[in-house]
Amino acid sequence: MRLKLSGQVLTGVVGFCGIAILTLTASVVPANAKQITSPRIEQAATTKADDFYNQGVNKYNQGDLEGAIAAFSAAIGLDPNDAIAYVNRGYTRYDLGDKQGAIEDFTAAIRLNPRDPVAYVNRGYSRYDLGNSQSAIQDYNRAINLDPNYALAYYNRGLARNDLGDKKGALEDYSTAIRLNPNDALAYVGRGNVRDEQGDHKGAIEDYNQAVRLNPNEAFAYYNRGVTRYNQADYFGAIEDFEKAADLFLRQGNTTQYQQVLELLTKIEHQTGETLVSIDR
């Protein structure tokens, strides 16, 4: 039996709005490992490949990413037609910062199994993270064609569309992602960001409120709600949200965003009424 590689899909990050909307990070989903059901000619080699594959899963879950890549590579060497091994090695490469290597692995997986929407979403986010939003959208389109109920594909496409200035398309994608997965707090944050940019501040705050209800530890929801409140002259509410966001960022180990929020609070203290430009996470 093959183990399942656990881990979060590569997700887009929302940026700071108004004062700054935090940019959602698109996510990549590791492929679901499954039991081998089709017979193979070299049963001994297949079993050995599965052993290396499972080693890769275990090493990944233990945080040994280099070891995981070595194990997945060994599995691929014994079974070069294993699309899932390519997807999971690509996911691990992405985690190590080798985004081009990740794209190559996702492309190999697509060549072996062109009907796997996960591989397209993963490659799309990797391309997006390298600044190629248009190619990312093409991959998300393919994933959606293969699985019209794939909420993450809509979410990630919404992020890319928003970056390219297609606010209407981004709003539609975030709304579809929410319809398919109404418990996705980040999708509400993403839609709230677009609504705020379009001047629908009431709708934006409603989305941020829902994100906080779904995930009380979602720092970006507090931060972006604070931005909208600040720009609507609700300074007390804004400061309250910024302080909550700072506390969450610190506890979650996100020191970069923690420092940015502290600097923002200092500016508000000294220059009330200043609206900051948008900055990315």
Task: Kindly report the three-state secondary structure assignment for every residue of the chain.
Answer: CCCCCCCCCCEEEEEEECCEEEEEEEECCCCCCCCCCCCCCCHHHHHHHHHHHHHHHHHHHCCCHHHHHHHHHHHHHHCCCCHHHHHHHHHHHHHCCCHHHHHHHHHHHHHHCCCCHHHHHHHHHHHHHCCCHHHHHHHHHHHHHHCCCCHHHHHHHHHHHHHCCCHHHHHHHHHHHHHHCCCCHHHHHHHHHHHHHCCCHHHHHHHHHHHHHHCCCCHHHHHHHHHHHHHCCCHHHHHHHHHHHHHHHHHCCCHHHHHHHHHHHHHHHHCCCCCCCCCCC
CB 88 within 8 A of CB 33: yes
Q: What is the pTM of this model?
A: 0.83
The pLDDT score that the predictor gives to residue 268 is 84
**β-bridge mates for residue 24, sequence order:** 13
The pLDDT score that the predictor gives to residue 270 is 76
Q: Which of 105, 6, 103 is nearest to 59 (CA)?
A: 6
Can you give the pLDDT of all 281 residues of the chain as single tens digits? Answer: 555 553 334 444 444 443 333 434 445 555 544 332 233 334 455 579 999 999 999 999 999 999 999 999 999 999 999 999 999 999 999 999 999 999 999 999 999 999 999 999 999 999 999 999 999 999 999 999 999 999 999 999 999 999 999 999 999 999 999 999 999 999 999 999 999 999 999 999 999 999 999 999 999 999 999 999 999 989 899 999 999 999 999 999 999 999 999 998 988 877 665 444 333 33
Alpha carbons 194 and 212: distance in angstroms, whole number: 17
Alpha carbons 210 and 204: distance in angstroms, whole number: 10
